[in-house]
């Protein structure tokens, strides 16, 4: 679908740093008055590659954690490039999920895989609170369970994908927590619902989308009274390169997750290697922060993945997001680039939509 506002929006586009492209299709409201923050999370995805960009983004995240207390880092997928954990390390073949096909069987100790430390954990060493590592909560991305082409590892694709998922869940460190392929995390007034969004495209590794729907249905029961966020690698809607993912089957599966979840505040995603803020057709916010280590500088966001979605902001800048929860169900979100500059902000009042505003000084 061609965006009606493209011509006007292009006039408003600006370069914030080098070749970074910024699109703001809608005017900004006034900056909000300062208010107390009860919970703060950094949101970044597609971070797990040893690049100069990764180092820049990691440095900006560390600076953000020094400037204000950070409670959690949310990392929805593509945690270890190019293919995820090594499935042929000695002992990796013994990794197995329990009967719930979600958590790893009790007692399993995974082999030491240096990729976790090198590509993901070490770069985040500066993200601290009171001198201790800020915990990182992760979901699976498509690269984390890759099993075709150069990621085949000489085994059956179904087996390799499942084993990589298992090794990701089994790994534990102060900067790596994946309680299961899907999980629920309650932090103060907020519930985060992490899902295995690889299943939006197709079933894989003997995992079933029907199980994912059943999980979200149960996990979201408090969401009528509580602020809830879906955390998933794949966005429900986007204006980036992966809008081609949005086949009729994909959109139908998104709709079923939406129906199972009910009233969510936002869908926090990666996969698109840019920064995007969209409004879904049903009214929740879609916040994409997938420019952690690999940029797609040529994207111009000219097309949306589905009718009815609205693009509120997009940029090719490397960076991350800052989610802040206030009292009474109010929340805000801010996109920050690799220099620490706030690119775009929005605020939500009383569980309403997150409306674009001028970023506070």
pLDDT digits (tens, 9 = 90+) for 135-178: 999 999 999 999 999 999 888 999 999 999 999 999 999 999 99
Which range (10-19, 101-110, 328-337) has the least confidence?
Answer: 10-19
In this prediction, residue 13 carries a pLDDT of 44
Report the C-alpha gap between 238 and 215 in whole angstroms.
Answer: 24
In this prediction, residue 18 carries a pLDDT of 52
* Mean pLDDT of the region 293-302: 96
In this prediction, residue 327 carries a pLDDT of 83
Phi and psi for 202 in degrees, rounded to 5? Answer: -175, 160
Task: Enumerate the domain spans of the chain.
Answer: 6-357
Whether the pLDDT of residue 16 is over 50: the answer is: no
Report the C-alpha gap between 211 and 220 in whole angstroms.
Answer: 14
In this prediction, residue 4 carries a pLDDT of 37
Average pLDDT, the chain: 94
Q: Give 24-67 pLDDT, tens digit per residue.
A: 999 999 999 888 999 999 999 999 999 999 999 999 999 999 99
Which range (13-22, 99-108, 114-123, 342-351) has the least confidence?
Answer: 13-22
* Mean pLDDT of the region 273-291: 98
Whether the pLDDT of residue 7 is over 60: the answer is: no
In this prediction, residue 6 carries a pLDDT of 39
Q: Under CATH, which architecture does the 6-357 domain have?
A: 4-Layer Sandwich (3.60)
Taking the whole predicted model, whether its pTM rises above 0.85 is answered as yes
% of the chain surpassing 90 pLDDT: 90
The pLDDT-based confidence of 12 (bands split at 50, 70, 90) is very low
* Mean pLDDT of the region 71-80: 98
% of the chain surpassing 70 pLDDT: 95
* Mean pLDDT of the region 345-361: 93
């Amino acid at each position: 679908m061609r965006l009606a506002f493209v011509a006007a929006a292009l006039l408003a586009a600006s370069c914030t740093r080098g070749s970074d492209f910024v699109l703001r299709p809608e005017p900004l409201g006034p900056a909000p008055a300062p208010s107390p923050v009860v919970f703060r999370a950094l949101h970044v995805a597609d971070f797990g590659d040893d690049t100069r960009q990764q180092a820049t983004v990691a440095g900006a995240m560390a600076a953000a954690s020094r400037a204000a207390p950070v409670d959690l880092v949310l990392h929805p997928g593509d945690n270890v490039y190019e293919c995820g954990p090594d499935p042929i390390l000695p002992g990796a073949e013994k990794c197995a999920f329990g009967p719930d096909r979600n958590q790893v069987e009790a007692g399993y100790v995974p082999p030491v895989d240096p990729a976790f430390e090198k590509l993901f954990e070490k770069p985040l060493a500066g993200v601290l609170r009171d001198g201790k590592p800020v915990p990182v909560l992760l979901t699976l991305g498509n690269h984390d369970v890759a099993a075709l082409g150069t990621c085949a590892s000489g085994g059956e694709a179904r087996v390799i994908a499942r084993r990589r998922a298992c090794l990701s869940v089994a790994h534990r460190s102060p900067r790596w927590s994946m309680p299961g392929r899907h999980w629920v995390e309650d932090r103060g007034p907020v519930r985060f619902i992490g899902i295995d969004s690889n299943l939006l495209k197709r079933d894989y590794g003997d995992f079933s989308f029907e199980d994912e729907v059943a999980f979200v249905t149960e996990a979201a029961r408090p969401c009528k009274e509580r602020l809830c966020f879906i955390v998933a690698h794949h966005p429900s809607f986007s204006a980036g390169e992966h809008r081609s993912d949005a086949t009729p089957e994909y959109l139908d599966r998104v709709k079923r997750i939406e129906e199972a979840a009910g009233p969510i505040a936002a869908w926090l995603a990666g996969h698109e290697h840019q920064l995007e803020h969209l409004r879904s057709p049903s009214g929740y916010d879609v916040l994409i922060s997938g420019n952690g280590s690999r940029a797609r500088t040529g994207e111009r966001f000219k097309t949306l993945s589905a009718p009815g979605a609205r693009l509120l902001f997009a940029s090719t800048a490397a960076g991350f997001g800052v989610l802040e929860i206030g009292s009474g169900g109010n929340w805000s979100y801010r996109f920050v680039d690799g220099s620490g500059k706030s690119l775009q902000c929005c605020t939500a009042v009383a569980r309403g939509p997150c409306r674009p505003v001028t970023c506070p000084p």
